[in-house]
Amino acid sequence: MLTYPDINPIAVSLGPLKIRWYGLMYLVGFAAAWWLARLRAARPGSGWDRDQVADVMFYGFLGVILGGRIGYMLFYDLPGFLHNPLILLKVWQGGMSFHGGLIGVLAGMWWFGRRYEKTFFEVTDFVAPLVPIGLGAGRIGNFINGELWGKASTLPWAMKLPCDRFPQYLCRAPHQPSQLYEAFLEGVVLFTILWLYSRRPRPTMAVSGLFLLCYGTFRFLVEFVRMPDPQLGYLAFGWLTMGQVLSFPMIVIGAVLLWWAYRGRADAA
């Protein structure tokens, strides 16, 4: 068994100002997306310039932050939100939803496309390969925060958690580091797939469809070894989680977009 490296979630403390590793992971994700966007825009015939890159990053930033927080409250803590709507502003207490952030980003991409006269999928195909590094960094932030653990396990890499920081139900037995599983799949693997796939011209919607299909599949599978959110538990069958409920439509929509994209190209040929 491994022992959890009890890292202080606060990276820098300057008097009352406390900068957390989780927040720094968001900065890493946005910085990486910005850099990768400029690389994609510099490709011959990309149809993107630096001003458009700057604006699409701004719209994406707003979508992630607003959509992620609102989505978490609606999907995972609706009773708490209805009891005290001001909890929405208490971002320092944690609680961000990928699926909510995705909806926020899609709304931002639609608005950006209207402004620059680009189609919705033209924008999402450009943005999709920029996202995984941020997803992976966010999962590392979850690991440092000591949240979203996997189920109890006897696997050699399961981690023993200190009881002075974690509740009894977590420190009684080692748990799988499901955050690191997701960091690898949603970050490293998903980035590799999308970056290599998007290096060659693809039919419109194909890159977006591949993103949805791969992320939805990875998240759906990891949820089997991840403990459900304590305020929700399992929704059905003793294994179905909210993460799986939200990820399954992504798998279906992603597969449909890929099929539609290549069917359209075949019909055109």
The pTM (predicted TM-score) of the whole model is 0.90
Residue range(s) defining the domain that contains residue 137? 2-268
Count of structural domains within the chain = 1
Q: In the prediction, which pLDDT does 80 show?
A: 78
What integer pLDDT is reported at residue 76 of this predicted model?
82
Calpha distance 231→173 (Å, rounded): 21
Backbone angles phi, psi at 157, to 5 degrees: -100, 5
Share of the chain above pLDDT 90, in %: 64
What's the longest Cα–Cα distance across the chain?
65
The CA distances from residue 186 to 95, 100, 138, 161, in Å, are 19, 16, 10, 24
Q: How far apart are CA 258 and CA 261, in angstroms?
A: 5
Question: What mean pLDDT is predicted for residues 48-77?
Answer: 89
Mean pLDDT of 202-214: 96
Residue with tokens 């932050």: 65
Cα–Cα distance for residue pair 241/226, rounded to 1 Å: 9
pLDDT for 254 equals 97
User: What mean pLDDT is reported for the chain?
Assistant: 90
The per-residue pLDDT for 182 is 97
Radius of gyration of the chain (CA): 20
pLDDT-derived band at 13 (thresholds 50, 70, 90) equals confident
Which of 259 and 19 is assigned the larger pLDDT?
259
pLDDT digits (tens, 9 = 90+) for 221-249: 999 999 998 888 899 998 999 999 999 99
